[in-house]
Structure 1
């Protein structure tokens, strides 16, 4: 039988984009009789932030950097290649602190930095607001590339996140593998979530950074076009069938006042009989 910690952890790991603080507040309210629950589910916060590619501004910096499994150090700190910085990260509050200078030690350092430059150009051309990173993987056998673009609009009751993660074995293969994930939450007078995952396997004709990122850009463009077509089909098909039709007045019915309507006159727009 699931424990309170198990249930609370599932809530945290299922938090929609940009809504972790809201979920934490709800968990605290539901477990008010046991204040230790939040500290007990620390692993869930870490998994969430690394899997969702949480972003954070470093102290004194303006650009946000990525939190992932690939840029985690042995002491629990994280590092950013572009700014040559390591830092502490609070997984509950999603705040960075204690930034220090960091020197990347990798036999693939030149490739990492050239990929980082090419990925930055791709990001600035195609995503209005995003964070990205390129890191060596364990044992330096491959290079990992990550990109995350967030769009939060809570005033309009929706939030969304685009994530892509790729790995490129530097010596044994000319194939980039990874996945693209899109998560959108819409919650005005309802609760609709879109969660998609697209596995990616791309053959690279040459090992140049420009060639790798060019193929990644093409894969992301193709997937976004597929999503756009799917959205159009949903809007014209299933969603249209679910949508409540407007009355003849072309105005929404104020259901909380429905008891005061005169059926013939107020709803239909005609004169009562």
Structure 2
């Protein structure tokens, strides 16, 4: 019988597939990821399941990140080994970026999102939905602009989106020819994962958050996704509230442990 921790591990394992790193290595069964230091998800140890069998697993992890000129980062969730968080804290790792894993029933989200859209007078006549199963230059241009990311990040996100498994869709909403919201949906089995969800800051509060979630959900349902999940920084109150209104529930939290100073490895 599946336990609660089994379910947490299952969700973590499908979620990790939505954010594939540029470079990775294995320390026993733990995935160690590096991607130019851009995003913690793509530059951290996926510490799920039991501890590695090698006694020197921590040294191997730190050597990996030191060789890439990066801090050592661990993804810590309820599917991680017991006491790992305290062990890393004792080794000088700082707690960073508490996040939530939230899930919902797809048909419920679709219905609730449509209701909120109607309250905001958003219809198919006022919003154009664009769906592409491959990354387009227009989508990536808009994503970098809305996130206010520098041009230097273009190659990372281009590669990340190319590596994402299929079926996937890059979805955007346009009003008056301008992209006002966008997101990426990735389906694995009966689950859809949503990433890169953002609404133009000048158009927030107008219902576009509900509209982009509706578009992502309905596309995912055509791919067989009956359930969906997303990961959100816990102090992002507007986003957490939006997801809660659509029926999302927090299943568990996760965070990172970061060790920035690996200079001791140079002299060891």
For normalisation by structure 2, the TM-score amounts to 0.26
- Name which structure has the greater RCO, CA cutoff 8 Å, separation 6+: 2
For normalisation by structure 1, the TM-score amounts to 0.25
